[in-house]
């Protein structure tokens, strides 16, 4: 049963161009990243406007390096309600003398509403969180409620991200042959219902490498997938570069931008990839495809909407086998990857 939402917005009525805009999206790294193409679009249409962002501290390294943001302000993650409240009060005090024409609340909860209300902005908008629509549509509709014109995804922000030469050396130190194409392998779905088997990854690497010998696969991420990455590397040999635990968020993104193709489960790096206009094949598993599927000719996704139990969002499968991931065959993944690669590589 879908939750009933109370959405509030106030369109921009002034004939003057907005000068100061605050974006609030602090939770879930992939969702934070989702805001960037839309803010990039607004920035291109209102180049004189300055944009500030409120985001969780552990995600702040990435937007700090984005040219589209003038200021990045951080809040802390905590299980304690009072610690969270204190964190938001502190960030509001940091912004005590700021005046924003527009507040874009793409978090939409009690804390973000508190921040928005205390600014008394001339215009504001909120995200519809529980709609079955694609996230891209919900972000678009939220921004368009400001009545600043048609909103669209502008992927050009990725081109302005500063290159990190240290990441080239890190790849070389871990076995990259510099003339080889890089394919991002992201076996990082949060739950077993979003995980493709290691056997499948190894078979895919072998098949791809036999037909595309000048390619290597790179795995990034946190220690949660360390054992999986090590096993894939052990069985994949020199075709696999394992950088799990060796990069922070911004460094990982620098490497993502060096890749020519991505194969990903439903996780943050997968969003990084397709939202940066890198050809991306996503395996959604139990994730709702009507809510989270990537869009664009540079993407392809396998979902579970064909199954009676599909799009269930469950962490554990009700069946003996995880049907939504078991139905994704190596041959089919290879074929769709090849189609994406033929257009780009």
- Look at residues 135, 160, 185 and tell me which one is the last residue of a structural domain: 160
Q: Are residues 131 and 192 in the same domain?
A: no
Q: What is the mean pLDDT of residues 298-321?
A: 94
Q: Are residues 220 and 319 in the same domain?
A: yes
Q: What is the 3-state secondary structure (H, E, C) of the chain?
A: CCCCCCCCCECCCCCCCCCEEEEECCCCHHHHHHCHHHHHHHHHHCCCCEEEEEEEHHHCHHHHCCCCCCEEEEECCCCCHHHHHHHHHHHHHHCCCCCCCEEEECCCCHHHHHHHHHHCCCEEEECCCCCCCCHHHHHHHHHHCCCCCCCCCCHHHHHHCCCCHHHHHHHHHCCCCCCCEEEEEECCCCCHHHCCCHHHHHHHHHHHHHHCCCEEEEECCCHHHHHHHHHHHHHHHHHEEECCCCCCHHHHHHHHCCCCEEEEECCHHHHHHHCCCCCEEEECCCCCHHHHCCCCCCEEEECCCCCCCCCCCCCCCCCCCCHHHHCCCHHHHHHHHHHHHHHHC
User: For the chain, what is the domain count?
Assistant: 2
What domain range is 296 assigned to? 165-344
- Look at residues 107, 135, 160 and tell me which one is the last residue of a structural domain: 160
Give domain status of residue 9, yes or no: no
**Confidence (pLDDT) at 5:** 65
Give domain status of residue 1, yes or no: no
Q: Are residues 50 and 174 in the same domain?
A: no
Q: Are residues 147 and 169 in the same domain?
A: no
Taking only the tens place, the pLDDT of each residue in 139-187 is 999 999 999 999 999 999 998 898 899 999 999 999 999 999 999 999 9
**Confidence (pLDDT) at 2:** 43
Q: Are residues 320 and 228 in the same domain?
A: yes
Q: Are residues 205 and 308 in the same domain?
A: yes
Q: Are residues 239 and 103 in the same domain?
A: no
Q: What is the mean pLDDT of residues 214-243?
A: 97
- Look at residues 114, 129, 160 and tell me which one is the last residue of a structural domain: 160
Taking only the tens place, the pLDDT of each residue in 13-68 is 999 999 999 999 999 888 899 899 999 999 999 999 999 999 999 899 999 999 89
Q: Are residues 94 and 214 in the same domain?
A: no
């Amino acid at each position: 049963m879908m939750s009933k939402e109370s959405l509030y917005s106030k369109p921009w009525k002034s004939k003057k161009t907005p000068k100061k805009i605050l974006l609030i999206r602090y939770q879930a790294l992939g969702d934070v990243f989702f805001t960037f193409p839309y803010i990039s679009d607004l920035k291109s249409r209102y180049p004189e406007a300055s944009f500030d962002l409120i985001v969780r501290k552990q995600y702040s390294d990435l937007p700090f390096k984005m040219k589209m943001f003038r200021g990045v302000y951080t809040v802390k993650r905590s299980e304690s309600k009072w610690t969270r409240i204190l964190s938001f009060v502190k960030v509001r005090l940091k912004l005590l003398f700021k005046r924003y024409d527009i507040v874009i609340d793409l978090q939409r909860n009690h804390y973000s509403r508190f921040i928005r209300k205390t600014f008394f902005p001339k215009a504001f908008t909120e995200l519809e969180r529980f709609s079955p629509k694609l996230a891209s549509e919900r972000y678009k509709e939220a921004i368009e409620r400001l009545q600043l014109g048609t909103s669209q995804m502008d992927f050009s922000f990725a081109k302005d991200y500063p290159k990190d030469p240290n990441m080239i050396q890190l790849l070389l130190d871990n076995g990259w042959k510099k003339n080889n194409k890089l394919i991002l392998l992201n076996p990082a779905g949060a739950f077993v219902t979003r995980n493709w088997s290691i056997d499948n990854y190894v078979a895919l690497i072998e098949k791809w490498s036999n037909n595309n010998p000048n390619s290597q696969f790179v795995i990034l991420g946190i220690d949660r997938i360390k054992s999986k990455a090590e096993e894939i590397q052990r069985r994949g040999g020199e075709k696999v570069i394992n950088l799990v635990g060796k990069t922070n968020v911004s460094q990982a993104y620098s490497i993502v931008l060096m890749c020519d193709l991505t194969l990903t489960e439903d996780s943050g790096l997968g969003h990084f990839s397709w939202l940066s206009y890198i050809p991306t094949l996503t395996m959604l598993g139990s994730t709702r495809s009507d809510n989270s599927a990537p869009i664009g000719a540079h993407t392809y996704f396998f979902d579970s909407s064909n199954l009676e139990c599909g799009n269930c969002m469950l962490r554990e499968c009700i069946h003996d086998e995880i049907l939504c991931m078991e139905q994704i065959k190596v041959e089919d993944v290879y074929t769709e990857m090849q189609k994406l690669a033929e257009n780009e590589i």
